[in-house]
Amino acid sequence: MTHPTFRFGPALLFCPADRPDRFAKAVERADAVILDLEDAVAPEAKADARRAVAASASGPGALDPGRVIVRVNPASSPEFAADVAMLGETAYRTVMLAKCEGTADLIDLVGLEVIALCETARGVLAAPAIAAIPDVMALMWGAEDLVASLGGSSSRDDDGVYRGVAGYARAHVQLAAAAHGVAAIDAVHLDLGDLAGLSAEARDAAALGFAATACIHPSQVDEVRAAYRPTAEQVDWAHAVLAEATGGPGVFAFRGRMIDAPLLRQAEAIARRADANG
């Protein structure tokens, strides 16, 4: 089954859709901008936000549609139909569906490139079925809405580490994405002052094979990009081991380490990340 190719870099920046004055700056700062019609916009401002998104797609200063993702309201929301109708009048074709809870939520998004946000208990458990839908480009998970759907009040412990159920959801959504050949996007880091924590989480995400991490402030973009960029030592090892493997045996010793097919695939992943991140 062929899915849309995830073509964005690792740092995706949310921008409130009712703040068109920030759109161009967000695109300039990040690898892609997520124009947010959902949580970032108050109910009374959603109609204006839709008009702002539509206006940004045409005329002087129009945003590059290849670098824009539009987060729409959940399929169960009274705002969803208007969001989708607005998209149909623009060149924007990549949509992030908030609180996706099953394949039925995707019916009205046929023909679009969908990033399904699995951020409730239902959504996390439905992630494998959602990832199997041909229009799905990527899955993303979210910790705070997940915990709210459980009746909880905090996704992290006192040390800032994700609680067990949040860690499970992260892994489950990534496994579902990988099983169906689509990208996985890691959740936002809400503590804007904790750049060290963000960097550590993004490095972990990159090492595990996530394609990107979502950001909520421009100050987070460079930290995410740096975290996804392999070190010079990693790139040197990857290129050297791949060169050694060309035409060679299936299993071989290299720099004191046994190399087999899984490690070759890891080397290929490092080389791809290095190319994608300059």
Q: Are 134 and 114 in contact (CB under 8 A)?
A: no
Q: Which of these, 226, 219, 176, lies nearest to 205 by C-alpha position?
A: 226
DSSP letters for 78-105: TTHHHHHHHHTTSS--EEEETT--SGGG
DSSP letters for 26-77: HHHHSSEEEEESSTTS-GGGHHHHHHHHHHTTSSTT---GGGEEEEEPPTTS
Is 29 part of any known ligand binding site? Answer: no
Number of other residues whose CB lies within 10 A of the CB of residue 128: 15
Is 119 part of any known ligand binding site? Answer: yes
Cα–Cα distance for residue pair 86/164, rounded to 1 Å: 39
Angle at alpha carbon of residue 6, lines to 103 and 15, rounded to 5°: 85
Q: Are 20 and 14 in contact (CB under 8 A)?
A: no
Is 223 part of any known ligand binding site? Answer: no
**Binding site as annotated, residues for Mg(2+):** 119, 145
**Binding site as annotated, residues:** 71, 119, 145
**Binding site as annotated, residues for substrate:** 71, 119
